[in-house]
Amino acid sequence: MTAEELFTSLVPLIAPAIEERWGRYNGCILATRVAVDVARYFGIIARPLAVRAIVCNSEFLLGVERGETTVEEMAAHDGYAVGVGFGRDPITGLIGCDSAHMAKRHNAWNGHLIVTAEGIFADFSIQQAERPQRSIITGPGIIGLLPDKQAWTVELEGGAMVQYRCIHEKTFRTAPDWAKASNRAQIVAKLICHLNGG
């Protein structure tokens, strides 16, 4: 099994498996760690990659082409974008706060985590940015070639787009969803069993 085959199989499975175990979908750190662990079982070396992502609809992209620069200009033409991994401090409201500050004060992380293996990437929690009413349809996950650069874009259904940008951030490794095996063991076992035909 290749990484692409595995990741493609996991796209529709990871979020429901997490929801079944925890009653909610915890987001990128747990989803990525589950994918890394399942990949290890199948002999695939998968690694986490910290990024930030901006997801925007086609109207937003047209607004950029027209030279629109304000939220008001974009909104006038139904342009819309969602940032993923730009942590907001719940006390101050500031966006993009220092990750160490966020982790200490709010048990939060200022980034978005995806998984990479064999020259491809998979984002198993991008659906948090989905806004159907704004023509942003992500589906449960995105898989694509991992370019040899720090930023890349992926086109979505209906002309929407995701722009990923790598960040040099490792504090996610201290989060319970990454570090605590009991948070994911049952999920990983269930997915492995499913993928083995059980």
Architecture of domain 3-195: Roll (3.10)
How many CB atoms within 10 Å of residue 134? 18
Q: Which among 127, 146, 128, 139 has a CA at the least distance from the CA of 48?
A: 146
Q: Which sequence spans correspond to the domains of the chain?
A: 3-195
Residue 87 has what pLDDT? 65
Distance CA 145, CA 38 (A): 20
Flag whether pLDDT at 96 surpasses 80: no
pLDDT (tens digit per residue) in 65-87? 888 877 788 878 888 888 888 76
| pLDDT over 60 at 107, yes or no | no
Q: What is the rounded average pLDDT for all residues in the chain?
A: 87
